Structure formats: C-alpha cells, structure tokens
C-alpha cells in the first residue's frame, strides 16, 4: 500500500466543515465515533436512514442513535474488539417512521501508529439499495428515484434484469411520476452506459420537424435543409434513445418507428441509403395507449412491438410512506443547494403534505418543497411557507381526479391499492381549530399562522361550522 501524504490530505480537508461536506456527498450513511461508540459526526444519508438530526446525534452513543438489533448481538463496539478487522453484517434498524428497516452495516476500526483503536467508522445502506456504479444515489432508491413502498420497490428490483437486455421498454404512469428518471437508470445500469442517452419529447415539436429531428435529413431534402442532419437515432448509435410522450407521435412516424424496430435501419429524409443504428428504444407515456388503439390514434402493431417489457410507475398518492421520505429527501437537497438551515416541518405542515392528493405527483412535491425552503425564514417549514392553493377545498374525490392507466402486460401483477389518506376537509378543519387554540381565539393571528387573509379564515370557519 503506498504511503499517505498527511500534508496533502490536510490541504484538501483543512477543517471539519470540509470533511463534513465530503461525507454528505456519499450515497451511504456514515458515522464517525470514538472507540466507546460516542458519535462525533454523521452525514445526511445517515440522518435520512435513521431519522435522527445531526445535532442531536453528536454526543450520543451509536446504540441510541442507530437503534439497531446488531448492537446487542455481538457488535465489537459494544463487546470489545477481539479482532481489529472490518465487520459486515445485515441488520435492522428502527427508522423515522418507527418501523423496522433492513440495512447493511459495516463497522471499521481506525488504528493509530501504536496499533490501538482511536476511532470507528460505521456505514449503513438500505438492503435494497442498488449499487450499480453511479446509479446508487439514495439509500432508498435508484439514482434520482427515491422510495421504499412495495409498489416502487417492485419496479427497482426489475431494473437490473431489464437493463441487461436490448428489448424495447414501455414505461407508463401519470405525469410527474419519474418516467424520465427511470428510463435513464435503465440505460445507466446496462452495458450501453458508455454510449449516449438521447431523449426526444414527441409532443414538443411540430409534426413537420419531428421526422427530421428523429431520422435526420440530407442537404436539399426540403426548403431550408442547407446541411446534412444526422437525426437522434443516429446520434444514439451504441446507446439508448428515449422517446417520451410516445402517445403524441403522429401516425405517419409511427410507421417509420415500427420499421426501425423491425430492421434497425433508418432512412434520412431525401436519402435512399439506409444507416444501421445500434440503438435500444425506451418509450414512455401518461396516456392510455390501449384506448388510443381503439380510437385509431395509435397503431396496434406498434404497441405490441413496444410492449415487450412494461413498467408501470405508481402515482404518489398510492405510495403511502414514500411521501414523508421524499419530502425529507427534497428538503435536505434544497437546504444544501440554497444554504438554508431548514431542518424539519411543523406538525400541521406534515399533516397537510400527507393529506394532499398531488395531481402532479413527485414533480409537484419536489416543487412544493423547493418553494417552502425558499420562503422559510427559520429552521422549521410551517403552513405559511407552503403554496396557498394546497389549502383550497377539493371539488371532487381523489379517485375521480386521477384515473389509473391500465396495465395489460401479462407478466405484471397489479399491486393492492394503498389506503386513502385522511379526508381533506377534516384536515383543513383541524388545522383551523389548532391555529385558533394556539392563538387563544385571536382570528387575526390565527389567519397569519395559516398563511391566509382574515376574510379567508372567516369564510372557511363559516364553511366548516366553526364558531
């Protein structure tokens, strides 16, 4: 092993803040402690996994912060080091929702020049974390996708095997569920990850330009074609082409796409010479393609050709505990990005975020948390920091607002629906009562606490029959 230059390390990490920032970039939980197990520092992923804040963790014994069954089953930190070697075990911890979570735990002693232990490094990662190179960016997720509900974990577990084939993939799900991120993770986990990942939004370009954008054109093919253009299929050679909003692809181009899927040859506009493109095609849509086939707006033979492997991303409202996990994940992300000291949510804010129906799914939740962190002036996100439209009365049940996209792929099992959250009107009514109690019945202060005007509070009190 080469000698370590301590001066070079000290120059790169001159202080504790630099060391802490380095740990925060790691996709696994890390804790540094004294030989007796007293915590000196933990990183953000450790906070996410355990649910304990960094400030509270420092000075505690690892037994009390990690709440792990291995602590009382022979952990060398607790029982003494018979062998000064790294220990790797599978264990379970009690997470922030006070439920048992299985993790991989590593305990490593730090030795001084005399051969005695002067510190310990402990790492934890989710047992279902997919360590596929750069794709593992979250202890409960896959790359940019975060979650641990059964519906989303089922998708995560299918990705490694899907990635090792060149079959076409159809990703379905409502807007904002993360279809683009899933497509990119399939590419990153595949043997094509050194090749390009090219994305085309089929609904973002007019029909007259989309064909040229996809298949390219030769000089002089049409008015304004002053140069040869390779097209996105050719640009994706050796990699993956992701066609999002495939339901918006015109019928004429559906024929050309079907032809490419059959023979892997593209013909640019104005050319009779084909080009063999080694491209894996991944497509996504929020539309019901089966219904579009019945309406003659989508070719049935193309649907059969694309529907080799089908992945359905569930809407956020059906992912239960993932809402709290995602809101904490986004809070920490934007906290670091904006340099804020935000470290949690008030009880009312959490109740509102838990009960909201999220028509925009994960994308909307991400935007809500970004908004809240931007406008939060303290350390706690409160109701007044959330967008006002969240508190407006919903006019129809959640089930009518969001009709799920049917998934007819024979290999897919339909997950059982998750229980619906508490009724929206009850949540709003309780928030008003809580605000009035906390302000001693002073309506002006209660309205300010809720982030409303006084007239809005009066109107809602009358609506809910609050005297």
Q: What are phi and psi of 57, to 5 degrees?
A: -70, -40
Average of per-residue pLDDT across 392-400: 40
Q: From residue 13, how far is each of 7, 19, 42, 108 by CA, in Å?
A: 10, 6, 16, 21
Can you give the pLDDT at residue 98? 61
Segments in 316-384 forming alpha helices (H): 322-338, 347-355, 361-375
- Stated as kind and residue range, the H or E segment containing 416 is none
Integer Cα distance of 454 and 464 in angstroms: 16
Q: Which of 4-8, 16-20, 81-85 has the highest mean pLDDT?
A: 81-85
Integer Cα distance of 277 and 256 in angstroms: 14
pLDDT category at 163 given cuts 50, 70, 90 is very high
Tokens representing 428 are 């709003």
pLDDT category at 281 given cuts 50, 70, 90 is very high
Question: 71-94 b/e with 16+ CB inside 10 Å = b?
Answer: beeebbbeeeeeeeeebeeebbbe
Can you give the pLDDT at residue 222? 78
CB-count burial class (<10 Å; 0-12, 13-18, 19+) for 339: exposed
Q: What are phi and psi of 262, to 5 degrees?
A: -80, -40
Lowest-pLDDT range of 175-189, 201-215, 395-409, 422-436: 395-409
The 10 Å Cβ neighbour count of residue 101 is: 22
The rounded mean pLDDT for the chain is 81
- Among residues 17, 48, 12, the alpha carbon closest in space to that of 328 is found at 48
pLDDT category at 96 given cuts 50, 70, 90 is low
> Checking phi first, is residue 147 left (phi over 0); if not, alpha (psi -120 to 50) or beta?
left
Can you give the pLDDT at residue 416? 40
Integer Cα distance of 386 and 391 in angstroms: 9
Residue pair 366/357 in contact (Cβ under 8 Å)? The answer is: no
- Among residues 194, 336, 202, the alpha carbon closest in space to that of 278 is found at 194
- Among residues 345, 381, 332, 200, the alpha carbon closest in space to that of 279 is found at 200
Tokens representing 197 are 């990942």
Q: Is the pLDDT of residue 310 over 50?
A: yes
Q: What are phi and psi of 333, to 5 degrees?
A: -65, -50
Can you give the pLDDT at residue 104? 82
Residue pair 83/115 in contact (Cβ under 8 Å)? The answer is: no
Q: Which of 188-192, 224-228, 270-274, 404-408 has the highest mean pLDDT?
A: 188-192
Q: Is the pLDDT of residue 143 over 80?
A: no
Domains observed in the chain: 6-126 (3.30.450.20), 133-219+231-312 (3.40.50.300), 321-395+420-464 (1.10.8.60)
Integer Cα distance of 104 and 66 in angstroms: 12
Give the pTM.
Answer: 0.60
DSSP string covering 437-453? HHTTT-HHHHHHHHT--
């Amino acid at each position: 092993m080469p000698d370590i230059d301590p001066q070079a390390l000290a120059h790169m990490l001159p202080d504790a803040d630099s060391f802490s920032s380095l740990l925060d970039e790691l996709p696994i939980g890390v804790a540094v402690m004294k030989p007796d197990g007293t915590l000196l520092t933990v990183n953000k992923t450790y906070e996410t996994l355990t649910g304990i804040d960094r400030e509270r963790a420092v000075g505690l014994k690892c037994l009390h912060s990690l709440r792990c069954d291995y602590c009382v089953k022979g952990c060398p930190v607790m029982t003494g080091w018979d062998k000064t070697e790294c220990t790797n075990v599978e264990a379970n911890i009690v997470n922030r929702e006070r439920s048992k979570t299985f993790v991989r735990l590593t305990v490593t002693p730090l030795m001084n020049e005399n051969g005695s232990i002067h510190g310990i490094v402990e790492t934890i990662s989710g047992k279902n974390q997919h360590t596929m190179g750069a794709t593992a960016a979250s202890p409960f997720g896959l790359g940019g996708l975060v979650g641990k509900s059964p519906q989303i974990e089922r998708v995560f577990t299918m990705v490694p095997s899907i990635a090792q084939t060149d079959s076409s993939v159809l990703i379905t799900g409502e807007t904002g569920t993360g279809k683009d991120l899933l497509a990119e993770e399939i590419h990153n986990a595949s043997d094509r990850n050194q090749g390009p990942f090219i994305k085309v939004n089929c609904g973002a370009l007019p029909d007259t330009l989309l064909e040229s954008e996809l298949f390219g054109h030769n000089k002089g093919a049409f008015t304004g074609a002053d140069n040869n253009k390779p097209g996105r299929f050719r640009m994706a050679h050796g990699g993956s082409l992701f066609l999002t909003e495939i339901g918006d692809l015109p019928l004429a181009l559906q024929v050309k796409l079907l032809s490419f899927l059959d023979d892997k040859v593209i013909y640019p506009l104005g050319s009779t010479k084909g080009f063999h493109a080694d491209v894996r095609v991944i497509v996504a849509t929020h539309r019901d393609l089966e219904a579009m086939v019945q309406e003659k707006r989508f070719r049935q033979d193309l649907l059969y050709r694309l529907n080799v492997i089908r992945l359905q991303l569930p809407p956020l409202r059906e992912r239960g505990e993932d809402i709290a996990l995602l809101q904490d994940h986004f809070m920490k992300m934007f906290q670091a990005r904006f340099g804020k000291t935000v470290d949690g949510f008030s009880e009312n804010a959490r109740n509102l975020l838990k009960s909201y129906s999220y028509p925009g799914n994960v994308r909307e939740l991400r935007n809500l948390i970004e908004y809240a962190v931007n406008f939060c002036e303290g350390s706690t996100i409160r109701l007044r920091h959330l967008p006002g439209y969240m508190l407006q009365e919903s006019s129809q049940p959640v089930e009518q607002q969001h009709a799920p996209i049917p998934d007819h792929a024979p290999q897919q099992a339909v997950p059982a629906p998750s229980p619906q959250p508490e009724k929206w009107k009850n949540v709003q009514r309780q928030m008003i009562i809580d605000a009035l109690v906390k302000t001693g019945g002073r309506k002006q202060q209660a309205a300010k606490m809720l982030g409303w005007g006084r007239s809005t509070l009066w109107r809602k009190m009358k609506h809910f029959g609050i005297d």
